Structure 1
Amino acid sequence: MADFVHEDMSELILIRSDVKDLIRCQSVCKSWYSLITSPRFINRHLNHSYNKDLFNNELGHRRIILLDDDDDHQLVGSSNGLVSAFSSKLLVGNPLTREVRHLNPPPWISLSLSWGFGYDSTTDDYKVIVGAWKGENQTCVQVLSLKSNVWRVIGEVKYIFVSEVGILFNDALHWIVRDENDKKLIISFDLSTNEFKEIPQPGDVRYECTSGSRLGIVKERLCIYRCEFSCVDIWLMKNYDVKQSWELLRHDHEMKYDIVHYLRTPPPPNDGSLFHPDKSWLRTLKYIDLHWDYIHAPLFVQSLVSPHVNVNH
């Protein structure tokens, strides 16, 4: 009897494969191509990638940064394996599948102060958020969804954004802002409701939010930290949006390895190739002691998610 692998067994095997291997597997046969490119498989593979990283006893987080510190290139954010960046154009792409999509640039780009990118599970859509200076202590906030590719003004807030890039956590983006009284606050933007709210900060006398403070993710928790000389004070919010749950991470804390993925810049003349990896694209940096340079970097997960998947035809 001829050897064969049942379709369900094939899916169980393929779903555990890396993206680069799955791309090659698409060429094996029509049935595998149909399976691997199906929305159901892509979602199951994404969930598997998340869980694989989450339960890895050696891995803390995957993060993604631009390879070069270039003011002409801005990393907007990362969500579900998609990465958004701005150079001469606003792009969203998957660095592993090499798919790239050009988005409409926001108005008043020269006045942009802050960015954000994330997934809205209620609409199965991805959103790019930009905050532009509107006047003294006022920022105009606009949102673009990948489905519409149209910018929409959702309102003005009486803050000046201190953070350049919003930290994605708990289905919301988070920034440090300065209010009209020059007080620094943490605010969140709910990607489903398009609403802002203030997040309580630590009430401990040892805590201080300064111009050098940044937000990030550590140990699957939202954190705020500041670095002065060689000392890093990291405050973790153990229960989201609960003021009393903030705690100071000990300096002798034990951390898992973080992996940093580098996105190559600047792009060649074909600006879409910002996301096209060369042999050195997946160069990683592993470290035990959490380096403050990377705490604020967007989290990254390996996936097959396409930037074109939600395009309305």
Structure 2
Amino acid sequence: MMKLQDFPEDIQVNILKRLPPPSLLCLMSTCKSMFSLVTSPTLMVSSSTTRNTGYYLYSSCTHDGKQTFFLVNKSKKITKINSSNVTVDSNHYLIGSSHGVVCFANIFHHQDLNLVLWNPSINKSLSIPTPLIASSIQRSHTLGFGFDYSCTDFKVVRIVINPTEDVRIYADVYAVHSGTWKKVTGLLSRPISKIIEQGVFIDGVIHWMLKISATDYTILTYNLAHEIFHEIDIPGDIVGENMGLVLSKVERSGKEKLAIYHNDYICKIWVMMEYGVQSSWELLCEIDCGEEYGKVLNVQNDKEIMVSTSSGRLFFFNPENNQIYDVVRQDEVMDYVGPYIKTLVLPTV
């Protein structure tokens, strides 16, 4: 009888990726060769792509500065999860999530930036030391997190831009598994005034929204595999509602697409139906939040939209029938983290 180790590695990976994470955890302790195979990026990533649970991960910051995390499923049930092994507080902000791994950073600590990677499905985390680069308090800088499919590695990208001065882009790219930083540079088409929030990762590319002026915005992209910066223009009818614009992504027919949320008393969601094509932006829906300021958190299951308001109200909105389903009222405001994926992806350096 043939043993698993007798098969070629690609067949071993194809067999093991069908097992649930608890079974893979047991196999890790059987021998060194199995540990090496189970913890290889190839298996961990291929396994995570098939372990989407239908749950979505949200965070909330308590009055004492601690971050707590919750799962929301298709039936809209909210469950608190164990986050004892991730050291993040009110100073840490979400940078992004990919393949079941979440990235946080204390983004306002310019001289002592701390990055934290966390796998919530196995409650394991890793802190990443960051070098002091050209970034300073006078310059606009931000971060992005994603996965480079060309080398099966997670990467953190920190970009630095001089607002209103020049068009140069300075970036540091951190490869998690190799534990190395690399400097990358690029050019903008024109000077900017500020960077809007953190990056959005879709299909190997990180995206940031940049403000040029009150009536002019653009999207800066960075391709992790090709190490190239690019820009995507935003139509004037979206920019005309520039207050509360947030770059995000939604899932439509099983594919992630770039989106812009306009958070206000009436929230709007714009979706780029064909990537990179300016004319393909479509208005998905409008959500009337009454006399409260609304914030779009996430579009679940291709249609249900989770929204929070300034009073702490939390509800789902269905754009197909305009129905609103109130979930819960709470003191702390919830933020969307990402899809909850059961995987053994374990950040290591």
TM-score bracket, shorter-length normalisation: 0.5 to 0.7
Match of 2:277 in 1: 242
RCO greater where, 1 or 2, for CA within 8 Å and sep 6 or more? 1
- Output one character per residue of 1:26-45: Cα deviation in whole Å (capped at 9) or x when no partner: 34677764653344432331
Tell me the secondary structure at the aligned position of residue 49 of structure 2. Answer: helix
* Residues 101 and 207 (structure 1), Cα distance of their counterparts in 2 relative to 1, 3 Å cut: closer
Q: Structure 1 CA distance, aligned partners of 2:264 and 2:231?
A: 26
Show the counterpart of 1:127.
155
Q: Does 1:102 find its partner at 2:136? A: no
Q: Which residue of 2 aligns with 1:85?
A: 104
> What is residue 180 of structure 2 aligned with on the other side?
149
* 1:101 CA displacement: 4.3
> Which blocks of at least 5 consecutive residues in structure 2 are unaligned?
62-66, 69-88, 107-112, 288-298, 307-313, 325-332
1:256 counterpart = 2:301: yes
Aligned residues: 270
Mapped partners of 1:226, 1:198: distance in 2: 20
Q: Provide the C-alpha distance between the structure 2 equivalents of 1:304 and 1:105, rounded to a whole number of angstroms.
A: 28
1:9-57 per-residue CA deviation (whole Å, 9 max, x = no partner) reads 99878634443553245346777646533444323312322xx55xxxx
2:248 to 212, 216, 221: 216
Q: What is aligned with 1:270?
A: none
SS at match of 1:115: strand
- Distance change in 2, residues 1:125/1:298 (3 Å): same
Q: Kindly indicate whether the alpha-carbon contact (under 8 Å) linking 2:145 and 2:157 is maintained by their aligned counterparts in 1.
A: yes
Q: What is the 5 A alignment of 1:46-195?
A: 46-49=48-51, 52=52, 59=54, 62-63=56-57, 65=59, 67=61, 68=67, 72-87=91-106, 89-97=114-122, 98-107=124-133, 108=135, 110=137, 113-138=141-166, 140-146=169-175, 147-155=178-186, 157=188, 158-179=191-212, 183-195=216-228
Task: Identify the residue that residue 45 of structure 1 maps to in structure 2.
Answer: 47
Q: Does the CA contact (< 8 Å) of 2:186 and 2:229 recur in 1?
A: no
CA distance in 1, matches of 2:241, 2:130: 35
Supply the distance in 2 between the matched residues of 1:99 and 1:39 (Cα, whole angstroms). 16
Question: TM-score, normalised on structure 1?
Answer: 0.67
Question: Does the CA-based 8 Å contact 1:215-1:296 persist in structure 2?
Answer: no
CA contact (8 A) 1:218 1:295 kept: no
Residue aligning to 1:305 = 345
Q: Alpha-carbon deviation of 1:76?
A: 2.1
Give 1:36's aligned residue. Answer: 38
Q: Say which structure is richer in strand.
A: 2
Whole-Å Cα distance in 1 between the matches of residues 317 and 337 of structure 2?
16
- Cα distance, 1:166 vs structure 2: 0.5
Give 1:276's aligned residue.
none
Kept in 2, the 8 Å contact 1:76–1:165? The answer is: yes
3-state SS, counterpart of residue 41 of structure 1? helix
> What secondary structure sits across from 1:193 in the alignment?
coil
**1:40-93, Cα deviation, whole Å (9 max, x unpaired):** 4323312322xx55xxxxx4x735546539652122222222222224622334
Are the counterparts in 1 of residues 217 and 234 from structure 2 also a CA contact under 8 Å?
no
Aligned-residue CA RMSD in angstroms? 4.1
Aligned CA distance change for structure 1 residues 222 and 89 (closer, same or farther; 3 Å) = same
Cα 1:27/1:113, change in 2 over 3 Å: same
Secondary structure of the 1:179 match is strand
Partners of 1:79 and 1:300 within 8 A in 2 = no
Can you list the C-alpha shifts for 1:206-232, whole angstroms capped at 9, x where unaligned?
Answer: 763413101111122211121221x22
Q: CA separation of 1:30/1:135 partners in 2, compared to 1, >3 Å: closer, same or farther?
A: closer
Percent identity between the two aligned chains: 26
